[in-house]
Amino acid sequence: MKTLDQVKVGTTSKVVSIAEPRIASRLMSMGIVPGISVSIMRKSLMGSTYFIQFPQLTLALRKEEAAQIVIE
Amino acid sequence: MSINKYQVALVGNPNVGKSSVFNLLTGLQQKVGNFPGVTVDKKSGQFLIENNVSVGVTDLPGLYSLFPTSEDERVVVDVLLKNLKNPSIDLILYIIDANDLERNLLLFTQIKDLNYKMIVGVNMMDTAQSNGLEIDLEGLSKSFDVPFIPLSGRSGEGIEAIKNNISSQILKESKDGFYKMNESETQIVHDIQEFIPNTTSYEALLIAHHYKRLPQITTHQKEFISKLIEQYSFNSLDHQLDEMMNRFQLITPLVIKNVKRHLASINPFTKKVDTILTHPVVGLFIFLALMLIVFQSIFTWSELPMEWVERSFSWLANILNETLPASWFQELLTEGIITGLSGVFVFVPQIAILFFLISLLEESGYMARVVYMMDHFMRRFGLNGRSIISLISGGACSIPAIMSTRTINNWKERLITIMVTPLISCSARIPVFTILIAVAVPPTKLGGWLSLQAVVFMSLYLLGAVTALLVAWFFHLILKTEEQSFLVMELPRYQMPHWRNVFMNVLEKIKTFSLEAGRVILIVSIILWFLASFGPEKNMEAARVQAQNEYNISQEVSLKQLTKTHELESSYAGMFGKFIEPAIQPLGYDWKIGIALISSFAAREVFVGTMATLYAVEDGNNQALLTERLQKATNKETGKKVFTLATAMSLMIFYLFAMQCISTMAVVKRETKSWKWPIFQFMYMGVLAYIGSWIAFQLLS
């Protein structure tokens, strides 16, 4: 199982599911549903905060939250 | 305010331009209060529609769904559910961003299922068009059975059309629900509806999700519902996900039907700018440079207007002193009330400048990027990325800095920021540090070029900042919260700030400060004036005799000044200074410093003025003379110098750590909605000041 924190900056992948239900609920309310494409644009200086691009939405996530996003 | 015929609530996702619409609707007819029981701000106002009908409007916090994750969002769910039982809202004006229809419609369908009458205001139609979107608003209106009205939060276009639709929409009957519940949801909803009468089906489902936190649900009802939850093994989070999934499956085809997409719609401008502004290294430098500008602006731009404020009030005081007959009333007016008012309004320039700049950062979309960049560092200390802006502004003045914490939506992070911001050395400490350093630190140059006085000055600033972070870290360890700390934050598109919003925000901050904090500052100024001007009549008489005797011996100082000096010594404040002398002796202070500590309770910079009075320096601005007098001052009993290096350092550390600013306390009370936190802050900072000064004095003497 591959999660979003394991991919390199710049790669685009597809969201399969979100493991932690609280974060899943939050993300889904922002329109992040399984099947949507996602890419990491960049990481912050210490590498612990991610700048994430979805088709209609740009988000800041922590590494811990990104690790809950299962991707293809 | 007149009685409003209708009540409208503004609802929508964050960053859709809700506040622009609110400002356009109400203009200056608005005020800020708070929702009962919580610290969330409630903006309300009113406007007129056809036939001069007055409509009240409340701006509810932005949220993504009726499954909230923060206090702000929870307020919306509470208000919407409570209103079903006790109706006062007649219509929901739901604002959406034309560029993100699908995502914005999720919450819309949830609210519609609560049977609210609605109008949808479609904001940012112009950018949607340039992004290659062709939206059939009539088609959407038909599909969702609610009017979709195009509007521009920038130009105000469409606002009239919304106003014209309000009364007809309120009178319209609403149709069936949008979301079809699954079997287990239907069962639990059925049972709740039987138990709580007059509950609609989606309302009952939301009660099943949120019953634990809903204030209107009685303990008895809670017990019943929790049994039902167990009986049907109703997992709230699973059902939330299913429901949202289901809603999107219904929304997406309707959006596809009504929207033609001509281009890929990621904003290229925002993307390009972000590669620089959020670059892991370059971005940080740009941020630091911006903060330097903010900090510098609060300092330099406010200098002149602050001087005007002070001059105008002292001009007024002079006139009153000359025209009114000398009496306690004249003194109350000039030294109590006018000094107090001046102490309130002198902060207005700094507040205006800081909020002007913060509004620009917030409105342009940059602030969210700051949170992204600073999150890692600030999180270690239990702070939020936004806290950095409050802490840096605290270097100028804690008052606007603490007011700026309102954008931190995690309550614990916000509270910690409020608690530690006053530890950052503000501009009011500068006069105190300057005089004490001049008195006690020799003007030697380290290694021939580095001024020792400057090093001491810098070290005090550094000590303040480091202590603030350490205390934050300590609070982070001991404060428990139910709110989970996670960061899932939208980074909105960059845009030109809406000047109307910037202006309204600055105006609102000034109004809030002057009215709410100003009241407390005024009252305390009057009390302090009383303490410093009155004393037991016998002692005050003796003080006047002593002044006369001293004047007879030497005419170096005027009789008026000598009387003032001795009266202050004999006043209630003076008595209090002598009373606390044993407590402050271990810190190296005598009773005169005690008096200065008490009078500085209102504001730190008062220290200099009080010292000038106590050491009979007539011109309070004559720093050189005051420095000389303080250097010569000796303790009558021991014959030793009062202001040794040890005492001066101890005193500076006291002024660095102690909460000697009634204005800050008043603002903390206003922001935390209770006296509990400012009192706690006063105590912890007092303890810190006492211990810090004691250590400094013992080490250096």
- Average pLDDT value for residue range B122-135: 89
Identify all chain A residues contacting B270, using CB atoms and an 8 Å cutoff: 58
- ipTM of this complex: 0.96
Q: What integer pLDDT is reported at residue B429 of this predicted model?
A: 87
pLDDT above 50 (res B387) = yes
Phi, psi of B8 (to 5 degrees): -120, 140
pLDDT above 50 (res B509) = yes
pLDDT above 60 (res B265) = no
Percent with pLDDT over 90 in chain B: 52
pLDDT above 90 (res B555) = no
* Average confidence score pLDDT of chain B: 89
pLDDT digits (tens, 9 = 90+) for B138-191: 999 999 999 999 999 889 999 999 999 999 999 887 777 889 999 889 999 999
Q: What integer pLDDT is reported at residue B621 of this predicted model?
A: 64
Q: What integer pLDDT is reported at residue B556 of this predicted model?
A: 79
- Average pLDDT value for residue range B366-383: 91
Mutate which: B15, B488, B491, vs A, most A CBs within 10 A: B488
pLDDT digits (tens, 9 = 90+) for B292-330: 888 788 778 888 998 899 899 989 988 998 898 888 888
Mutate which: A25, A62, A65, vs B, most B CBs within 10 A: A25
User: Shortest CB distance from A51 goes to which of B100, B265, B372?
Assistant: B372
Interface of B with A (CB under 8 A): 64-65, 67, 69, 99-100, 102-103, 106-107, 237-238, 240-241, 244-245, 248, 265-266, 270, 274-275, 278-281, 284, 368, 371-373, 375-377, 484, 486-492
How far apart are the CA of B468 and the nearest CA of chain A, in angstroms? 22
User: Is the CB of A56 less than 8 angstroms away from the CB of B278?
Assistant: no
**Whole-angstrom distance, CA of residue B491 vs CA of residue B271:** 11
Q: What integer pLDDT is reported at residue B249 of this predicted model?
A: 94
Q: What integer pLDDT is reported at residue B30 of this predicted model?
A: 85
Identify all chain A residues contacting B488, using CB atoms and an 8 Å cutoff: 23, 26-27, 30, 59-61, 65
pLDDT digits (tens, 9 = 90+) for B28-76: 888 887 777 676 778 999 999 988 999 999 999 999 999 998 878 889 9
Contact in structure between B669 and B515 (CB atoms under 8 Å): no
pLDDT digits (tens, 9 = 90+) for B4-21: 899 999 999 999 999 999
Identity of the amino acid at B557? V
Q: What is the reported pTM?
A: 0.85
Q: What integer pLDDT is reported at residue B1 of this predicted model?
A: 45
- Least-confidence region, from B57-71, B493-507, B522-536: B522-536
Identify all chain B residues contacting A64, using CB atoms and an 8 Å cutoff: 486
- Average pLDDT value for residue range B515-536: 85
- Average pLDDT value for residue range B489-514: 90
Mutate which: B486, B490, B493, B494, vs A, most A CBs within 10 A: B486
Identify all chain B residues contacting A55, using CB atoms and an 8 Å cutoff: 266
- Average pLDDT value for residue range B685-694: 96
Closest C-alpha to B369, from B266, B467, B493, B464: B493
pLDDT above 90 (res B264) = no
User: Is the CB of B278 less than 8 angstroms away from the CB of A51?
Assistant: yes
Q: Long-range pairs for B205-214 at CB < 8 Å and ≥24 separation? A: B205/B181, B206/B66, B206/B77, B206/B81, B206/B114, B207/B81, B208/B234, B208/B236, B209/B67, B209/B236, B209/B239, B209/B240, B210/B77, B210/B81, B213/B74, B214/B78, B214/B81
Phi, psi of B433 (to 5 degrees): -60, -45
- Interior/surface letters B511-541, b for 16+ CB within 10 angstroms, e for the rest: ebbbeebbebbbebbbebbbbbbbbeeebbe
User: Is the CB of B266 less than 8 angstroms away from the CB of A55?
Assistant: yes
Percent with pLDDT over 70 in chain B: 98
Q: What integer pLDDT is reported at residue B483 of this predicted model?
A: 65
**Whole-angstrom distance, CA of residue B100 vs CA of residue B286:** 30
Q: Report, as ranges of residue numbers, the positions in chain A whose pLDDT lies below 50.
A: none
Reduce the DSSP state of residue B660 to 3 states and report it: coil
Sign of CA dihedral B326, B331, B332, B333: positive
Identify all chain B residues contacting A62, using CB atoms and an 8 Å cutoff: 375, 486-487
pLDDT digits (tens, 9 = 90+) for B339-354: 888 888 888 898 899 8
Confidence of residue B266 (pLDDT cuts 50, 70, 90): low
